[in-house]
Amino acid sequence: MAGAIMLMRGGCSNSATTKLKMEALRANEGCPVDYGNGMTLQSVVYDEASNVVTMTVAVDNESFDMDYLRTNADVAKKNVYLSFSQGDCKPMVNDIANGGAGFKVVLKDKKGGKTVDVLLSPDEVKQMSKSNLSQAEIGKMKFDNWLLVQNRACPQDLGDGTAIAKVVAEEGFVVLYIQGEDNETIDYIRDDSDYYNFMKSNMMSGLAEDVATQSQFALLASNGYGLVFRFYHDDPKKSADITYSVDELQKAMHKTTH
């Protein structure tokens, strides 16, 4: 994201409108840009007639519940707000605000082609540009929003009669309640320490290879949450947990960057 956004910072003009137009053209030339978190910037366009900068972003459906975002405009706007009100994104928002322009983000499902349009008015863009939220506050808002979207997607079918029933934050961990039909495996996880360690290592190896999952690990760890996979059959109280501490999540992320 940073590369495309920095392109939008170049150029000078006495006209804010002309500046926006040139910045959008330059950024668009740099597309596509893979953000590395399940999102790819496909295009940046400035429409002078409507005075709106539009960014089209392809997203993984696993990271974004498109149907939910389409019917919940406030949540969709919060996603855009959290993505563009900080870091390298902030200068771009400032330029759009200075130009008195609107800002539209088109989220496009990479697989199904579904789209969600999020339009911020010039006044909303100005409010975003004036945001002075700390990184900790933004991180907490991102986490709360992520948890909301994850729960909205439940039950999440994992195949083989297994599904994520709910996702909750409790006692310093994000807990995924996973309901399955295989009681024997649940018993092994709970009662056989060797099998538990095997499953824990094997699951982490698979998860660590997924870029979108790495982004979620970072979100959890930065907010002080570990991760628990809670497997059960009929009764969640009769479960078997596979637990990863914050340190273990951070170590998994560190290994993938080296």
Q: For the residues of 161-186, what is the DSSP string, one character each?
A: TEEEEEEEEETTEEEEEEE-S-HHHH
Per-residue pLDDT, 63 = 62
Q: How far apart are CA 186 and CA 131, in angstroms?
A: 47
Is residue 181 located within the same domain as residue 134?
no
Is residue 132 located within the same domain as residue 13?
yes
Contact 207, 213 (CB under 8 A): yes
Is residue 200 located within the same domain as residue 72?
no
Q: How far apart are CA 215 and CA 20, in angstroms?
A: 31
* Range 113-119 average pLDDT: 90
Is residue 135 located within the same domain as residue 159?
no
Q: How far apart are CA 146 and CA 77, in angstroms?
A: 13
Is residue 65 located within the same domain as residue 178?
no
Q: Is the pLDDT of residue 223 over 90?
A: yes
Is residue 112 located within the same domain as residue 163?
no
Closest to 177 (Cα-Cα) out of 235, 233, 231:
231
Per-residue pLDDT, 5 = 46
Q: Please give the C-alpha separations between residue 218 and each of 181, 184, 213, in angstroms, as whole numbers.
A: 31, 33, 9
Q: How far apart are CA 49 and CA 133, in angstroms?
A: 33
Of 140, 166, 198, the residue at which a domain comes to its end is 140
Which of 2-11, 170-179, 231-240 ranks highest by mean pLDDT?
Answer: 170-179
Q: How many residues in the chain? A: 258
Is residue 136 located within the same domain as residue 188?
no
Report pTM: 0.66
DSSP 124: H
**Which are the contacts of 125, defined by CB distance < 8 A and separation ≥ 6?**
93, 96, 97, 101, 102, 103
How many domains does the chain contain in total? 2
Is residue 109 located within the same domain as residue 183?
no
Closest to 170 (Cα-Cα) out of 225, 234, 217, 230:
225
Please report whether residue 195 resides in a domain: yes
- Bridge partners, residue 103, by sequence: 53, 120
* Full domain range(s) for residue 110: 2-140
Q: Is the pLDDT of residue 34 over 90?
A: no
Beta-strand pair 173-179/226-232? parallel
Band of pLDDT at residue 110, cut at 50, 70 and 90: confident
**Could you tell me the CATH number of the domain that includes residue 83?**
3.30.300.250
Closest to 52 (Cα-Cα) out of 120, 2, 134:
120
Of 91, 112, 140, the residue at which a domain comes to its end is 140
Is residue 162 located within the same domain as residue 225?
yes
Q: How far apart are CA 69 and CA 59, in angstroms?
A: 12
Average pLDDT, the chain: 83
